[in-house]
């Protein structure tokens, strides 16, 4: 990949050894709206879909946080489908209603769903028309979060990719750093402090806290991913001239250190300075991880496919917490994004791409790992069979990146095991 800054050659895990096709149990891309709307505080997400889509978002969010949230669903009815109502006119009406209600909204995303895709409702054209109508008031664009095209975290990738064309061109002769993928505000602030200390200027987090926080992109742009599920956006940025820095994800003490080191190296920062800046947070992270690692050491973990974070999490747990990995399931594999991870993974770990739910569950039952990382719908079903689980959705919803979250991250995995050792009721063990 020409746009990738190569790392020194290391022997790699080959990637998934097998593909599975069958029943999947992963949410669709609409789910990404739950964290995207919290990250981008002046954006509104309008799903054009069915009652199922509305019900999915509200059920996956688990709690109804806001009385009037910054997302909603325009539910298609029979009149829309039978062509008795013109969908574009209807959308016009609904968007008009929304914009007049919500004055704080500066950005509106129309989000496509399976029904809107199947009836070939062209939301991009609709967005362009609506934009003309609401020019100077709100920016409007479209992306798809449909379950026939995206899984769970891929919704964020589609959302960001849809805004790449809007990014201003970077003035030639200048340079900047784009950190790609949602991180929580507190992680952004920690990272900014470290970038300052390292002497790395012009850092942009994408997506930012405001929809209008759009980084410039061009030949002088260096790109680093903070999340593994933003591959298409990364490619679109590379196409616009950005150079991608190859690194593992900033998860755990080692992952965070390698991530910052790779960025610093790409910026030609003196390595003594890098070590000096990173040493304190790195040691602190090691200490924080260590106390949990005691409880995790030697345990066997199994990942069912869900958030795309499976490979980086497995790397962190095997590298820093002494877990052995039974199997890693991943909804899909993106070599560009996982390049920096695979070199750190034990070579014989079994990676399965795709899913066939029932046979996959049978493998879990047979192996009886100490911990299974899985989607929310499956967790209690496995617990009732005496298997301990960790829901993967929490890994996306809570701040886990960076040195000062490394201990929390290990703690998320240790918690279920600690609980098992405490409880004197029930039938775990």
Partner 1 sequence: MELTLWTYEGPPHVGAIRIAASMRDVHLMLHSPQGDTYADLLFTMIERDGQRPPVTYTTFQARDLGASTAEMVLQSLRESAERFKPQVMLVADSCTAELIQDQPGALALGADLPVPVIPLEMAAYTRKENWGASETFYQLVRGLLSRQAPAPGTERPQRGADVRPSVNILGPTKLGFRCRDDVVEIERLLASMGVDVNVVAPLGASPWDLQSIPAADANVNLCPEVSDLTCSWLARTFGMPTIQTIPMGWGATRDFIAEVAEVLNLDIDVDAVGESRLPWYSRSIDSTYLTGKRVFVFADGSHAIAAARVARDEMGFEVVGLGTYSRERARDVRAAAKEYGLEALITDNYLEVEARVQELQPEMVLGTQMERHIAKRLGIPCAVISTPAHVQDYPARYSPQMGFEGANVLFDTWVHPLIMGLEEHLLHMFRDDFEFNDSVGPSHLGSEGEGARSLNESGEQICEGNIVWAFEAEKELKKIPFFVRGKARRNTERFAEEQGISTIQVDTLYDAKAHYSN
Q: Is 358 in the site for partner 1 (CB under 8 A)?
A: yes
- Residue 249 contact, options ligand SF4, partner 1, none, Cβ 5-8 Å cut-off depending on partner type: none
Residue number, 30 or 357, with CB nearest to ligand SF4:
30
Contact 49, 147 (CB under 8 A): no
Q: Which segments within 275-322 are labelled E, that is strand? A: 300-303
Binding mask 285-314 for partner 1 (x = CB under 8 A): x-xx--xx----------------------
Q: Is 348 in the site for partner 1 (CB under 8 A)?
A: no
Q: How far is the CB of 57 from partner 1 (least distance, A)?
A: 9
- Residue 358 contact, options partner 1, ligand SF4, none, Cβ 5-8 Å cut-off depending on partner type: partner 1
Q: Which helix (H) or strand (E) holds 394?
A: helix 393-397
CA dist 357 and 377 (Å) reads: 12
Helices 335-342 and 231-239 cross at an angle (nearest 10°) of 110
Given 251, 378, 400, 417, the residue binding partner 1 (CB under 8 A): 378
Beta bridge partners of 302: 327, 372
Question: Residues interacting with ligand SF4, by CB under 6 A?
Answer: 28, 30, 49-50, 52-53, 56, 63-64, 113-114, 146-147
Residue number, 28 or 187, with CB nearest to ligand SF4:
28
Residue number, 253 or 342, with CB nearest to partner 1:
253
Q: How far is the CB of 145 from ligand SF4 (least distance, A)?
A: 6
Given 36, 56, 130, 278, the residue binding partner 1 (CB under 8 A): 56
Hey, which residues between 73 and 112 contact partner 1 (CB under 8 A)?
A: 73-78, 80-81, 85, 87, 90-91, 93-94, 97-98
- By Cβ distance, which residue is nearest to ligand SF4? 147
CA dist 261 and 146 (Å) reads: 37
Q: How far is the CB of 327 from partner 1 (least distance, A)?
A: 20
Q: How far is the CB of 184 from partner 1 (least distance, A)?
A: 9
Cα–Cα separations (whole angstroms), residue 281 to 22, 100, 353, 401 = 44, 47, 35, 13
CA dist 93 and 36 (Å) reads: 25
Given 102, 284, 300, 363, the residue binding partner 1 (CB under 8 A): 284
Residue number, 33 or 351, with CB nearest to ligand SF4:
33
Helices 406-422 and 252-266 cross at an angle (nearest 10°) of 170
Q: Is 125 in the site for partner 1 (CB under 8 A)?
A: no
For the beta carbon of residue 232, count every other beta carbon within 10 angstroms.
17
CA dist 348 and 17 (Å) reads: 10
CA geometry: angle at 222 spanning 163 and 8, to 5°? 130
**Chain centre to alpha carbon of residue 201:** 25
Q: Is 50 in the site for partner 1 (CB under 8 A)?
A: yes
């Amino acid at each position: 990949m020409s746009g990738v800054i190569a790392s020194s050659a290391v022997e790699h895990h080959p990637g998934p050894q097998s593909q599975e096709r069958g029943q999947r149990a992963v949410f669709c891309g609409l789910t990404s709206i739950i964290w995207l709307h919290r990250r981008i505080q002046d954006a509104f997400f309008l799903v054009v879909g069915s009652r199922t889509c509305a019900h999915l978002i509200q059920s996956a969010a688990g709690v109804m946080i806001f009385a009037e949230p910054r997302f909603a669903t325009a539910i298609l009815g029979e009149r829309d489908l039978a062509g008795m109502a013109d969908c574009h006119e209807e959308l016009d009406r609904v968007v008009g209603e929304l914009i007049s209600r919500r004055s704080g909204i500066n950005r509106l995303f129309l989000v496509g769903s399976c029904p809107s895709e199947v009836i070939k409702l062209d939301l991009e054209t609709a967005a362009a028309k609506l934009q003309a109508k609401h020019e100077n008031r709100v920016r409007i664009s479209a992306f798809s979060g449909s379950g026939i095209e995206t899984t769970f975290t891929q919704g964020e990738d589609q959302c960001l990719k849809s805004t790449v064309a809007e990014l201003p061109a970077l003035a030639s002769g200048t340079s900047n750093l784009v950190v790609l993928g949602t991180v929580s505000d507190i992680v952004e602030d920690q990272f900014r402090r470290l970038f300052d200390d390292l002497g790395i200027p012009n850092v942009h987090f994408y997506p930012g806290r405001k929809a209008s926080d759009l980084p410039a992109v061009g030949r002088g742009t260096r790109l680093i991913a903070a999340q593994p599920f933003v591959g298409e956006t990364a490619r679109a940025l590379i196409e616009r001239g950005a150079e991608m820095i190859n690194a593992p994800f900033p998860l755990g003490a080692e992952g965070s250190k390698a991530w910052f080191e790779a960025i610093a190296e790409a910026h030609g920062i003196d390595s003594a300075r890098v070590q000096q800046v990173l040493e304190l947070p790195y040691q602190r992270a090691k200490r924080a991880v260590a106390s949990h690692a005691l409880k995790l050491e030697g345990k066997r973990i199994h990942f069912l496919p869900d958030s795309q974070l499976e490979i980086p999490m497995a790397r962190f747990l095997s590298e820093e917490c002494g877990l052995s990995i039974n199997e890693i399931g991943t909804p899909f594999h993106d070599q560009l994004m996982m390049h920096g991870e695979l070199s750190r993974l034990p070579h014989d770990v079994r990676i399965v791409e795709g899913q066939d739910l029932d046979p996959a569950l049978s493998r879990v039952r047979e192996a009886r790992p100490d911990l299974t990382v899985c989607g929310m719908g499956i967790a209690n079903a496995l617990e009732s069979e005496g298997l301990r689980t960790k829901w993967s959705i929490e890994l996306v919803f809570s701040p886990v990146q960076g040195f000062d979250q490394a201990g929390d991250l290990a703690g998320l995995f240790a918690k279920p095991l600690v609980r098992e050792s405490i409880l004197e009721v029930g039938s775990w063990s």
